[in-house]
Amino acid sequence: MKWMAFFKAFFKSEAKDISKMLDAGGCREGWLQGELFLRAPHATLQTNATRRKYDLYSKRPAMVAEVKICGGDYQSKMQALIESDVQKLRTALGNTQRFMILLVDTRCRGSSLGKWLLTQDFPHTEYCDVKGTHFTARIWKIRQTRRDPPLRRLPARGSIR
């Protein structure tokens, strides 16, 4: 399965309902995860209710994703939460596809957070935008963090190398 193609098609086909749900505070993200679950053509898609540390998870094909819904008038702490989710994705182990899905409510794009949401970029191998009425779905296939080389041991005090 090509996850990027699935996510892109989902946001295009569900644009009308997504636009309506932007005003449903307290349940937006759970609703979106549920809709992705219902429409995934692969039966292995699971949501965060499965005790995984990711919002979306699949064993075959291997994929993890974080989903955030945010707008320019949301709390400023959202920027740090989004950056934290991207870092979590970058350090995921194994040969796993990693996606950051950011659904941006575009009705308040003039604030500093609104501008950041629409211009921020993350290390990725693939990216797409899907625009709907009052939202832009920004989807990154996140690049894995390269592992640092092992630390060299320092010589013991007093020894000469």
pLDDT score recorded for residue 156: 52
Give the C-alpha separation, 132 to 114, whole Å. Answer: 16
Give the C-alpha separation, 87 to 123, whole Å. Answer: 10
pLDDT score recorded for residue 12: 97
pLDDT score recorded for residue 77: 93
pLDDT score recorded for residue 158: 57
pLDDT tens sequence for the chain (161 residues): 689 999 999 999 999 999 999 999 889 999 999 999 999 977 688 888 555 689 999 988 889 999 999 999 999 899 999 999 999 999 888 888 999 999 999 999 889 999 999 999 999 999 999 999 999 999 999 988 765 444 344 455 554 54
Q: Is 87 left (phi over 0), alpha (psi -120 to 50) or beta?
A: alpha
Give the C-alpha separation, 2 to 134, whole Å. Answer: 27
Letter string b/e over residues 127-142, b meaning 16 or more CB atoms within 10 A of that residue's CB: eeebebebbbbbbbbb
